[in-house]
């Protein structure tokens, strides 16, 4: 078995389906990037937010370049696909290992981390529940001011290299410089302790404020767009600098589709009847819409808002929810 | 050419009054410009198409996108393959593989295979999706697949394809549904997978890297 | 001789009159004259191995692919990696095995985790011999080196396999346990010591 050290992982030489039409593997996305040794800022939508790339969705320069291939041919003369061999010294500091894995270098400091994001680690690393940690360290409570999410997060501290991932989704790191960015809570994987986390007014979203780094996942590469833009709630990953969105109901859709009109009142039928409407200046982050992940915090969030209801209103809401649960 | 590949899972359509787009309902990720969406019922033209759709369960809810603007389409993080049809041989695929296509393209429902009515019924019973959609005309189609679709070029030879992994095909191809002895134990993970598609002729077959249907 | 080549999420198995074994249901297409036949549970070893496997709960259903032609194999759109073995042993979780050439032997090995009561991870599959084995993973596999002084802790769900002189222990620190709370996040982790490589995938499932 051979694992040539420093061999850029992935990438069989040439195009596996050479020259054939409609080749999805010819796209820059998803292709293993040169790594292992030469940390390259690939995969980072290094906050083009604020200065969005013209022609959103395009890979940054140097993204799709074929990596230098230095693999040894496997028996049979075909280049074999070998992973890079990594150790604590060759793992990058606070950078992507591949499009789906990010490596945090812990040097005595603390990171907030989503429970379950840990894939592996080298060194001496401790994980503490934020709830427990905040009673000891006052700054934690002040940074993590999102009680709805607190039970889903841990504080990682110590010395070592920590590898994180999220369901095999693309991971991107974002550097905030005295800025703020709002992101879907279930896509946020980790953030440095210099940043402050607050609940957004839009359910299911959180806002990061300050100067520091955070890591968030996306289904497929992040797509950057500018307002005016209307986004499907499921495909919306986040936004920066622009005002919080308003909800746009597509009148034409609702009048033509009775079903959409009814379900539009208490939920959503297909997504075309209701969008988040962005205006002003800023950047919107989109992902390929996902099978919605069950976010336990949303339940807590909605439940806390039922305080606004009177008792009889709460009762009728309960009945409607039971009816919906039985329908499914 | 209204479809632009944004990444492997998302396409962008440039919609203008002359070039409306038909897309799977719920697949719109976002848009800019003055665009309206309108549900479309009864895919497939004519009575035959409607009957076929009702019979096969191939009534994939679609919508029309009209107006002027740019619209992003994607579905559940599935991979998207854009194909250009030249007006020659139609694209044959299962209806739920269609993410979006030029509204000028025509669709109709067809029974895939040559076993006649009896096997059509048994096929429908096993839920093998033997009813497929034909896409005719000149224009662009965006197809969904789990993990990406790879093309297999046929130049007269015959290949076997797992029906679960079959995405679609273009060209002068014959498709037969073969129930292979012992195939059930081997290839199928659950029930009703005792079939494979035998495809021969000249053309391109698209296969996905997964046995997962959606 | 049969040749396995990985093409991102699809494995090409080129057969020249010989046979390979592949996970049941993993054939997505084939060209040429290829016969598929269930070969039952993974690996050889007869009755005793089969029994051992049943006890260990490490089940792997395989099929024989024999003939002339190319078979396209894939599992759930997972990434494919081909590992060449030259007489050494690869330890791999059975659900990550996509295919292997005929000369390789599959066996079940008890991981020997003391104090483990749950079925998970009690046993793993070992692949030994000269040939090729194709493994699948959510996203590309990382090969993480373990050396004296560089222990590695891995989430059990991200663990794919390993090779080398390694020993595996469970870690479940006090703090770790406390954060499991209501629903299981990571109830325990695997700590590898010794020297070798651990294969880790990029998703925790």
B211 within some domain: no
Query: In angstroms, rounded to a whole number, what is the distance separating the alpha carbons of residues B195 and B177?
Result: 7
CB distance B36–A253 less than 8 Å?
Answer: yes
Which pLDDT belongs to residue B214? 67
**What Rg do the C-alpha atoms of chain C give, in angstroms?**
18
Query: What's the CA gap between C48 and C107, in Å, rounded?
Result: 11
Identify the pLDDT of residue A299.
77
CA C70 to the chain's CA centroid = 23
Q: What is the mean pLDDT of residues C51-73?
A: 75
Tell me if B20 is assigned to some domain: yes
Closest C-alpha to C3, from A174, A141, A81: A81
Domain that holds residue B90: 3-146
- Which residue is closest to A16 within chain B, CA to CA? B150
Lowest mean pLDDT among A16-30, A196-210, B134-148, C113-127: A16-30
First to last CA, chain B: 28
Radius of gyration of chain A (CA): 22
Boundaries of every domain in chain A = 95-257+273-308
Contacts A32 to C, Cβ<8 Å: 140
Residue A104 has pLDDT above 90, yes or no: yes
Distance between CA atoms of residues A152 and A162, nearest Å: 18
Q: Report the C-alpha gap between A174 and B33 in whole angstroms.
A: 29
3-state class percentages of chain B: helix first, strand second, coil last, to nearest 5: 15, 55, 30
Query: What separation in angstroms does the CA of C36 have from each of A45, B4, B182, B207, C39?
Result: 46, 40, 8, 19, 9
Residue B108 pLDDT: 82
Q: For residue B147, which residues of chain C lie inside 8 Å, CB to CB?
A: 9, 74, 76-78
Domain count of chain B?
Answer: 1
State how far the Cα of C106 lies from the Cα of C125, in Å rounded to an integer.
Answer: 7
Q: Are A216 and A234 in contact (CB under 8 A)?
A: no
Is the predicted pLDDT of residue A91 greater than 90, yes or no? yes
pLDDT at residue number B128? 47
Residue A188 confidence (pLDDT) = 94
Instruction: Return the pLDDT at B111.
Output: 64
Coil/strand/helix, residue A315: helix
Reading chain B (214 residues) residue by residue, the pLDDT tens digits are 579 999 999 999 999 998 899 998 889 999 999 998 887 765 444 334 444 444 444 456 788 899 999 999 999 889 999 999 998 889 998 888 999 999 989 888 776 554 444 444 444 444 444 567 889 999 999 999 999 999 999 999 999 998 889 999 999 988 877 665 444 444 444 333 456 788 999 999 999 998 877 6
Does the pLDDT value for residue C127 go beyond 80?
Answer: yes
Q: Which carries the bigger pLDDT value, residue C129 or residue C178?
A: C129
Structural domains of chain C in order of their starting residue, each with its CATH number: 1-137 (3.60.160.10), 139-205 (no CATH)
DSSP string, B152-166: EEEEEEEEEE-TTTE
pLDDT by residue (tens digit) across A259-291?
Answer: 544 444 444 455 677 889 999 999 999 998 755
Q: Which chain B residue has its CA at the smallest distance from A236's CA?
A: B29
Is pLDDT above 50 for A23?
no
- Residue corresponding to tokens 């007006």: B87
Phi then psi dihedrals of residue B118, to 5 deg: -60, -50
Q: What is the CATH number of the domain that holds B129?
A: 3.60.160.10
Count A/C contacts: CB-CB distance under 8 Å: 151
Using an 8 Å CB-CB cutoff, list residues of chain B that contact chain C.
146-148, 150, 152, 157, 159-162, 164-165, 180, 182-183, 185-189, 193, 205, 207-212
What is the share, in percent, of chain C residues with pLDDT greater than 90?
47
Using the Cβ of C142 and the Cβ atoms of chain B, whether some distance falls under 8 Å is answered with no
- Residue A298's Cβ-count burial label (10 Å; 0-12, 13-18, 19+) is middle
CATH superfamily of A95-257+273-308: Mitochondrial biogenesis AIM24 (3.60.160.10)
At C177, is the pLDDT very low, low, confident or very high (cuts 50, 70, 90)?
A: very low
Contact A208, A258 (CB under 8 A): no
The CA-to-CA distance between both ends of chain A, in Å, stands at 50
Query: What pLDDT score does B91 carry?
Result: 93
Scanning the structure block, which residue is given the tokens 């194999």?
C73
Instruction: Please give the pLDDT value at position A71.
Output: 34
Q: Which of A313-322, B142-151, C27-36 has the lowest mean pLDDT?
A: A313-322
Q: Cα separation of B189 and B184, whole Å? A: 8
């Amino acid at each position: 078995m051979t694992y040539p050290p420093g061999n850029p992982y992935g990438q069989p030489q040439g195009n596996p389906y050479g020259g054939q039409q409609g080749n999805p593997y010819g796209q820059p996305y998803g292709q293993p990037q040169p790594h292992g040794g030469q940390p390259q800022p690939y995969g980072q939508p290094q906050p083009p937010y604020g200065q969005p790339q013209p022609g959103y969705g395009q890979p940054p320069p140097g993204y799709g370049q074929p990596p230098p291939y230095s693999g040894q041919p496997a028996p049979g003369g075909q280049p074999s696909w070998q992973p890079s061999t990594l150790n604590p010294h060759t793992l990058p500091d606070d950078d992507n290992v591949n499009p789906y894995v990010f490596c945090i270098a812990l040097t005595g400091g603390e990171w907030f981390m989503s429970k379950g994001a840990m894939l592996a680690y080298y060194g001496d690393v401790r994980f503490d529940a934020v709830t427990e940690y905040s009673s000891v360290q006052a700054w934690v409570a002040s940074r993590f001011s999102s009680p709805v999410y607190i039970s889903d997060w841990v504080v990682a501290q110590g010395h070592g290299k920590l590898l994180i991932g999220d369901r095999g989704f693309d991971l991107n790191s974002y550097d905030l410089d005295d800025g703020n960015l709002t992101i879907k809570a279930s896509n946020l994987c980790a953030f440095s302790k210099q940043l402050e986390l607050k609940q957004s007014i839009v359910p299911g979203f959180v806002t990061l404020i300050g100067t520091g780094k955070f890591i968030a996942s996306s289904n497929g590469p992040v797509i950057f767009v500018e307002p005016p833009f209307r986004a499907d709630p499921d495909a919306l990953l986040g936004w920066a600098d622009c005002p919080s969105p308003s909800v746009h109901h597509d009148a034409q859709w609702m009048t033509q589709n009775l079903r959409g009109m009814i379900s539009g009142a208490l939920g959503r039928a297909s997504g075309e009847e209701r969008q988040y409407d962005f205006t002003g200046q800023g950047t919107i982050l989109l992902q390929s819409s996902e099978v919605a992940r069950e976010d336990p915090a949303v339940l807590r969030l909605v439940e806390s808002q039922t305080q606004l209801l009177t008792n009889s209103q709460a009762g009728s809401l309960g009945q409607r929810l039971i009816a919906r649960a039985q329908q499914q | 050419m209204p479809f632009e590949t944004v990444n492997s899972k998302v396409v962008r359509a440039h919609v203008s009054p002359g070039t409306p787009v038909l897309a799977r309902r719920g697949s719109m990720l976002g848009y800019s410009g003055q665009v309206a969406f309108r549900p479309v019922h009864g895919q497939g033209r004519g009575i035959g198409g409607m009957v076929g759709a009702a019979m096969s369960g191939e009534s994939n809810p679609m919508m029309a996108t009209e107006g002027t603007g740019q619209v992003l389409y994607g579905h559940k993080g599935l991979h998207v393959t854009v194909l250009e049809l030249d007006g020659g041989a139609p694209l044959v695929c299962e209806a739920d593989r269609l993410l979006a296509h030029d509204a000028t393209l025509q669709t109709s429902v067809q029974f895939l295979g040559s076993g006649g009515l009896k096997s059509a019924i048994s096929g429908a019973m096993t839920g093998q999706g033997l009813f497929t959609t034909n896409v005719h005309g000149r224009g662009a189609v965006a197809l969904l697949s789990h993990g990406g679709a790879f093309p297999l070029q046929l130049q007269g030879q015959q290949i076997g394809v797992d029906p679960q992994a079959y995405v679609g095909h273009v060209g002068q191809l014959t498709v037969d549904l073969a129930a292979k002895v012992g195939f059930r134990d081997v290839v199928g993970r659950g029930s009703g997978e005792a079939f494979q598609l035998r495809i021969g002729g000249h053309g391109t077959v698209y296969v996905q890297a997964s046995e997962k249907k959606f | 001789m049969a040749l396995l080549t990985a093409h991102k999420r699809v494995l090409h198995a080129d057969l020249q009159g010989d046979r390979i074994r592949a996970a049941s249901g993993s054939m997505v297409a084939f060209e040429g004259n290829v016969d598929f036949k269930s070969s039952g549970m993974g690996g050889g070893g007869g009755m005793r191995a089969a029994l051992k496997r049943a006890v260990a709960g490490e089940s792997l259903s395989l099929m024989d692919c024999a003939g002339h032609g190319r078979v396209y194999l894939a599992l759930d759109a997972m990434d494919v990696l081909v590992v060449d073995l030259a007489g050494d042993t690869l330890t791999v979780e059975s659900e990550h095995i996509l295919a292997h050439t005929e000369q390789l032997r599959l066996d079940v090995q008890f991981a020997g985790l003391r104090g483990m009561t749950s079925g998970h991870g009690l046993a793993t599959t070992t692949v030994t011999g000269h040939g090729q084995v194709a493994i699948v993973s959510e996203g590309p596999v990382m090969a993480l080196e373990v050396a004296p002084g560089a222990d590695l802790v891995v989430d059990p769900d991200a663990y794919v396999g390993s090779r080398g002189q390694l020993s595996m222990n469970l870690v479940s620190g006090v703090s770790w346990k406390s954060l499991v709370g209501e629903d299981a996040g990571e109830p325990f982790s695997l700590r590898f010591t010794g020297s070798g490589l651990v294969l880790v995938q990029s998703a925790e499932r």
